[in-house]
Structure 1
């Protein structure tokens, strides 16, 4: 994905690392001294010596992306449960499918969709957000509209639906808790908004049954009760260093990962942190800059860096187990675990499957368009490209 800077008006910038972005932004909004950034070409893919079959295609549909921008791709994701699939396009199209790929309904929300899809299987509710700051809820089985709510800012990440609340992080720094049944505001929580930040946001996630975890553009994590929005604790994750506001950007745009009473988060400014939730003690802090969430398995934390490096760490102490540069500058997605493999997407729509023991690529599958985000539910991997291609793969048996 190509990040862009948010500072009142949006300034576009292609970046491969923090230093390059600082130079680019200086060239655009500074004194215009003709500084040109060094943009590295993506490495060419090497042929896999002995590829194995890991994923089998089960669903593929073009949902359209009429208003997409290559300079400002948004990480829309698929709403999925065991019975339904709900997709959204940048152009405002919302579609519902059954798991066999049969389209059940479709509609257009008359605005660009910027956040979604969040799908709650219990209430059969699909939630999306628009560029104009509207949050809309639909019956996921029929497409019937249930409610609409106007927020103070637009939402750039899927909502969290939990405990009869729809929880969202808006780009004006406000965190919102809405009623799942009516969409009415229940609580609001204000966070600090830096003068300059990366355009994007981390999706909220659950810390435990009653607490939501939200990451913000100032590099912090906030733990807030889902029902009433009461703050439980806040911790700084990203720490930007430098003389300019650009160099001090510390966004946490990758969703924090909570697993086995441990918390892992990564920042744009280059901090990967592991926290033991039982003791609230930091287990490790390592240097890795990313806008993408990490993945975890029983032994490892896996991250993808801004310049296309893939690194696996020991999840207990942060020791580097292996690192790979074979996908350098290929604008990697977040890594996810699918079965016993690590899946990572890239700018050409290729999903690479890594062996977590060796760090070697053992398989690939292909879709159309650049990938920005991967999702896994059970034994299925879901992707949506910036060109609007939705694909679902099943783990081979």
Structure 2
């Protein structure tokens, strides 16, 4: 049985659903999300662009992120289509897969790359949407690929890392991550470490540095531990993308820790207990983490000291936090985009999209949001 499907129920309501998996038949009282706090003179974001695609399953934690390259926005539709927009003008729309798509978009070097739950990897021409090449992987593709150093790096959910030549689609190498018996249904995307190497995070709480061109391993390091007694309690996946900030790599793990690793010494600088499946945000000396219980915590990057913690959004199923200009933005289950003061953690404003916010990105000073209901939108800070 494919390891990513063994406890798919675990991400329905995260901790509560995990409790249901662990004790079948036991009644679990669902924690209610905190009501929205009242705000005085609330800030809002300025909408720039929006479109709607098909919704994703509530039980499937797909993060169908948008991407942008050369001023063109590329949007994925879970029903199998990819669309390209310049401003509000749609340049093209292509049906890529009759079986649907399951990964977010990666756009670079003239390519648009997407993947399916059947392990099909597609590379399209940015200008026309025409397929340039495709490849078959050994498992579902749940995270966006990475185009880096002339390679398209992708991860199948059976733990196999693939590299294909960006120009031709020819397979260059594979790397097998250690098999994990139980894991959440999700996968961190590969991220660039430097001009040559990439970082891969896995369900066994390790991160791996691989040479993008040859596939040669350069580093492996455990960045989280667990003290759980059962298989469910010992889940410690790194599902949020690692954040590279100078000489540091910041990771978060489910039922684990937020950890800062020094790339020079390859030693852990500090580690603090925190459960998160989202990518941490790093800005200046601050590390910002949205935890699975809805707390947002800020740490000092070199010492791990807690700068502040906000618990006003408990049980609101938060997205990854991102910095947009001078505000920290995080989305929630109702499509609310919360604006926080990064120095104090105070909520200073909000805007609204439609559906549970799954991914946030900031590119060239604009916020790109994707929700479970298929709302894809771009925002600016006032």
Superposed CA deviations along residues 271-301 of structure 1, whole A, max 9, x for unmatched, are: 1101222232321100100000100111210
Give the distance between the partners of 2:142 and 2:249, measured in 1 at CA. 23
Give the distance between the partners of 1:372 and 1:319, measured in 2 at CA. 28
- Which of 29, 40, 46 is the equivalent residue of 2:31? 40
Q: Is the 8 A contact 2:43 2:339 kept in 1?
A: no
Q: After alignment, is 35-44 or 199-208 more displaced?
A: 35-44
Q: After alignment, is 272-281 or 311-320 more displaced?
A: 272-281
Q: What's the offset of the Cα at 1:38?
A: 3.2
Q: Aligned residues, how many?
A: 379
- Which of 203, 206, 227 is the equivalent residue of 2:192? 206
Query: Any stretches of 5+ residues in structure 1 without a counterpart?
Result: 29-33
Match of 1:111 in 2: 99
Q: Is the 8 A contact 2:43 2:349 kept in 1?
A: yes
1:90 matched to 2:78? The reply is yes
Q: Is the 8 A contact 1:238 1:268 kept in 2?
A: no
Q: What's the offset of the Cα at 1:388?
A: 0.9
Q: CA RMSD in A?
A: 1.5
Q: Is the 8 A contact 2:9 2:59 kept in 1?
A: no
Give the distance between the partners of 1:22 and 1:128, measured in 2 at CA. 30
Match of 1:334 in 2: 320
Task: Determine helix, strand or coil for the equivalent of 1:116.
Answer: coil
Q: Which structure 1 residue ranges, 4+ long, deviate > 4 Å from structure 2?
A: none
Q: For the structure 1 residues 152 and 314, does the alpha-carbon distance in structure 2 shift closer, same or farther, using more than 3 Å as the test?
A: same
Alignment of 1:242-391 (within 5 A): 242-391=228-377
Q: What's the offset of the Cα at 1:21?
A: 4.9
Q: What's the offset of the Cα at 1:223?
A: 0.4
Query: Any stretches of 5+ residues in structure 2 without a counterpart?
Result: none
Match of 2:4 in 1: 6
Superposed CA deviations along residues 115-155 of structure 1, whole A, max 9, x for unmatched, are: 120000xx211000011100000011211110010011111
- Which of 94, 103, 112 is the equivalent residue of 1:126? 112
Superposed CA deviations along residues 194-237 of structure 1, whole A, max 9, x for unmatched, are: 11100000011011111100001111101000001000111112
Q: Is the 8 A contact 1:16 1:40 kept in 2?
A: no
Q: What's the offset of the Cα at 1:325?
A: 0.7
Q: What's the offset of the Cα at 1:9?
A: 7.2
Q: What's the offset of the Cα at 1:179?
A: 0.7
Match of 2:43 in 1: 52
Task: Determine helix, strand or coil for the equivalent of 2:265.
Answer: coil
Task: Determine helix, strand or coil for the equivalent of 2:143.
Answer: coil
Give the distance between the partners of 1:386 and 1:355, measured in 2 at CA. 26
Q: Is the 8 A contact 1:238 1:269 kept in 2?
A: no
Q: What's the offset of the Cα at 1:244?
A: 1.5
Match of 1:31 in 2: none
The alignment's TM-score, normalised by the length of structure 2, stands at 0.96
Task: Determine helix, strand or coil for the equivalent of 2:4.
Answer: strand
Give the distance between the partners of 1:9 and 1:279, measured in 2 at CA. 36
Give the distance between the partners of 2:339 and 2:364, measured in 1 at CA. 16
Task: Determine helix, strand or coil for the equivalent of 1:115.
Answer: coil
Give the distance between the partners of 1:103 and 1:182, measured in 2 at CA. 27
